[in-house]
Amino acid sequence: MSSAFKENREDEEDVFTKAAEAADELYKIRESFYPANPDEKTIILQTKSDLALQLLDEIPHERRKLPMQRAMYEFLHGKVLDVFPYYRKEAEEHLSKAVKLNPSLADAWLCLGNCIWKKGDLPSVKNCLMLGLSKGPNKRILCQLSMLERKMAQGAEDQEGIIEESVKHAKEATTLDVKDGYSWYNLGNAYHTSFFVSGAWDHRKLLQSLKAYQNAERRTNDKLSRPIF
């Protein structure tokens, strides 16, 4: 491999890495920063998302021509746009392009599912998550699928069956990373829902829920302030 080619490859990886890190920072702020004034969070997210998009725009066109390069560019663009709580069609368009260019990009399927969820099309969300999961085990997709199934169970005929699937997927997520606090928290939510859906008589489920929450508390340094779904 020539030194010029190697240097060009490293530069390409560097610009995409910087953009990916900027996108990840956005989501860390969204998930962990809860100021007294919610507007403060919105302003910070808007400012940092603008900077992240600027980083993406600075990637030379010749470095986002190949399908894999373009897929990553579209994925990161859509991910940044989708950091806000409301649905954005532009975000869905970028993420849809990403999965068409590289169907193996599991994180793009996850982000696309999250984006579509905001407009209420739950069957399409599940399709995205299942396609992402078909690329290989993924704790984040499993957690999101478990949460989605709890949402889809509301008002459904086979509530118990759907909730059992939710518990199953939540369990699978914890086996992939026993140290991940959020996976345990999600499992606690699944057991908690299962307890009430099944008639609130099987106290073993309530105990399993409590144990999962305790595992979550032990395995995370972040204050868990997520709603129960």
Per residue in 100-129, pLDDT (tens digit) is 999 999 999 999 999 999 999 999 999 999
Superfamily of structural domain 1-136: Tetratricopeptide repeat domain (1.25.40.10)
Q: What's the pLDDT tens digit per position in 189-204?
A: 999 999 999 998 999 9
Q: Where are the domains of the chain?
A: 1-136, 142-221
Confidence label for 220 from pLDDT (cuts 50, 70 and 90): confident
H-only helix segments in the chain: 3-32, 38-57, 67-81, 89-101, 106-117, 122-133, 139-153, 159-176, 181-197, 203-218
149-195 confidence digits (pLDDT tens): 999 999 999 999 999 999 999 999 999 999 999 999 999 999 999 99
Please identify, in words, the CATH class of the domain defined by 142-221.
mainly alpha
User: Which residue type, as a one-letter code, is found at position 193?
Assistant: T
Please, what is the average pLDDT of the chain?
Answer: 91
Residue 5 has pLDDT above 70, yes or no: no
The answer to whether 38 and 94 are in contact (CB under 8 A) is no
Could you tell me the pLDDT band of residue 215, with boundaries at 50, 70 and 90? very high
User: What angle do helix axes 159-176 and 139-153 make, rounded to 10 degrees?
Assistant: 170
Give the CA count within 13 Å in the CB-facing half-sphere of 160: 6
Topology alike, domains 1-136 and 142-221: yes
C-alpha distances out from residue 104 to 13, 88, 129, 133, Å: 19, 23, 12, 10
- Residue whose token pair is 């953009």: 19
